[in-house]
Chains A and B, each alone.
Chain A
Amino acid sequence: MERNVEKLKTPFQGNLKKFMTNKLAVTGLVVLVALLLFAIVGPYVTGYDEETIDMMNMLAKPGNGHTLGTDELGRDILTRLAYGGRVSISVGIFATLMELLIGVLLGSIAGLYGGIVESVIMRITDIIMCFPFFVIALSIAAITGPSFRNLIFIIGILGWPSVCRIVRSKVLYLKNMEYVEAARSLGLGQMEIIFRHILPNAMGPIIVFTTLSVAKVVLMEASLSFLGLGIARPQSSWGTMLSAAQNMQILKDCWWMWVPAGMLVLLTVLSINFLGDGLAEVLDPKSRGTGGV
Chain B
Amino acid sequence: MAEHEIFFEIKDLVVKFGRPGRAFPVVKGVNLSLERGKVLGLVGESGCGKSVTMLSSMGLLPQNNCEVSGSILFDGQDLMKVAPKDFQKIRGKRISMVFQEPMTSLNPVFTIGNQLEEMLAQHEGLKGKANKDKCLELLSLVSIPDPESVYDYYPFKLSGGMRQRVMIAMALACDPELLIADEPTTALDVTTQAQIIELFKDLQHKLHTSIVFISHDLGVIGEISDHIAVLYAGYVMEECGVKTLFQNPLHPYTFGLMSSRMGRTLKNKDKLYSIPGIVPSAENMPAGCPFAPRCARAGERCANAVPPLREVEPGHKVRCWEVAGHE
Is any CB of A less than 8 Å from a CB of B in the complex? yes
Contact mask for chain B residues 270-299; partner A; CB cutoff 8 A; 1 contact, 0 none? 000000111001001000000000000000
Cβ distance B236 to chain A, nearest Cβ, rounded Å: 24
User: Which of chain A's residues has its CB closest to B276's CB?
Assistant: A1
B residues less than 8 Å from A3 (CB atoms): 284
Q: Is B281 a contact of A2 with CB atoms below 8 Å?
A: no
User: Which of chain B's residues has its CB closest to A5's CB?
Assistant: B284
Question: Is the CB of A8 closer than 8 A to any CB of chain B?
Answer: no
A residues less than 8 Å from B276 (CB atoms): 1
The CA of A5 and the CA of B284, in the complex, are separated in Å by: 9
B residues less than 8 Å from A5 (CB atoms): 284
User: Which of chain A's residues has its CB closest to B281's CB?
Assistant: A293
User: Which of chain A's residues has its CB closest to B293's CB?
Assistant: A3
A residues less than 8 Å from B281 (CB atoms): 293
Cβ distance A18 to chain B, nearest Cβ, rounded Å: 15
Q: Is A293 a contact of B284 with CB atoms below 8 Å?
A: yes
The B interface, classified by DSSP as helix, strand, loop or mixed, is loop
The CA of A1 and the CA of B281, in the complex, are separated in Å by: 15
Query: How many residues of chain A are within 8 Å of chain B by beta carbon?
Result: 5
The CA of A263 and the CA of B281, in the complex, are separated in Å by: 51
Cβ distance A287 to chain B, nearest Cβ, rounded Å: 14
Contact mask for chain A residues 1-22; partner B; CB cutoff 8 A; 1 contact, 0 none? 1110100000000000000000
Those of A1-51 within 8 Å (CB) of chain B: 1-3, 5
A residues less than 8 Å from B278 (CB atoms): 2, 293
Cβ distance B175 to chain A, nearest Cβ, rounded Å: 39
A residues less than 8 Å from B284 (CB atoms): 3, 5, 293
The CA of A2 and the CA of B276, in the complex, are separated in Å by: 9
Cβ distance B286 to chain A, nearest Cβ, rounded Å: 10
User: Which of chain B's residues has its CB closest to A290's CB?
Assistant: B281
The CA of A293 and the CA of B278, in the complex, are separated in Å by: 10
The CA of A1 and the CA of B275, in the complex, are separated in Å by: 12
Contact mask for chain B residues 281-321; partner A; CB cutoff 8 A; 1 contact, 0 none? 10010000000000000000000000000000000000000
The CA of A5 and the CA of B278, in the complex, are separated in Å by: 14
Contact mask for chain B residues 169-195; partner A; CB cutoff 8 A; 1 contact, 0 none? 000000000000000000000000000
Cβ distance A6 to chain B, nearest Cβ, rounded Å: 11
The CA of A1 and the CA of B276, in the complex, are separated in Å by: 9
The CA of A293 and the CA of B282, in the complex, are separated in Å by: 9
The CA of A293 and the CA of B283, in the complex, are separated in Å by: 8
The CA of A59 and the CA of B28, in the complex, are separated in Å by: 76
B residues less than 8 Å from A293 (CB atoms): 278, 281, 284
Cβ distance A21 to chain B, nearest Cβ, rounded Å: 13
B residues less than 8 Å from A2 (CB atoms): 277-278
The CA of A250 and the CA of B277, in the complex, are separated in Å by: 77
The CA of A5 and the CA of B281, in the complex, are separated in Å by: 11
The CA of A3 and the CA of B276, in the complex, are separated in Å by: 12
Contact mask for chain A residues 76-97; partner B; CB cutoff 8 A; 1 contact, 0 none? 0000000000000000000000
User: Which of chain B's residues has its CB closest to A2's CB?
Assistant: B278
A residues less than 8 Å from B277 (CB atoms): 1-2
Cβ distance A238 to chain B, nearest Cβ, rounded Å: 43
Cβ distance A2 to chain B, nearest Cβ, rounded Å: 6
Cβ distance A74 to chain B, nearest Cβ, rounded Å: 60
Cβ distance A1 to chain B, nearest Cβ, rounded Å: 7
The CA of A293 and the CA of B279, in the complex, are separated in Å by: 10
User: Which of chain A's residues has its CB closest to B278's CB?
Assistant: A2
Cβ distance B291 to chain A, nearest Cβ, rounded Å: 15
Those of A173-229 within 8 Å (CB) of chain B: none
Cβ distance A293 to chain B, nearest Cβ, rounded Å: 5
Cβ distance B65 to chain A, nearest Cβ, rounded Å: 12
9 contacts between A and B (CB under 8 A): A1-B276, A1-B277, A2-B277, A2-B278, A3-B284, A5-B284, A293-B278, A293-B281, A293-B284
Other 7 A-B pairs with CB < 8 A, given A1-B276, A1-B277: A2-B277, A2-B278, A3-B284, A5-B284, A293-B278, A293-B281, A293-B284
The 3 A-B residue pairs with the shortest CB-CB distance, nearest first, are A293-B281, A2-B278, A1-B277
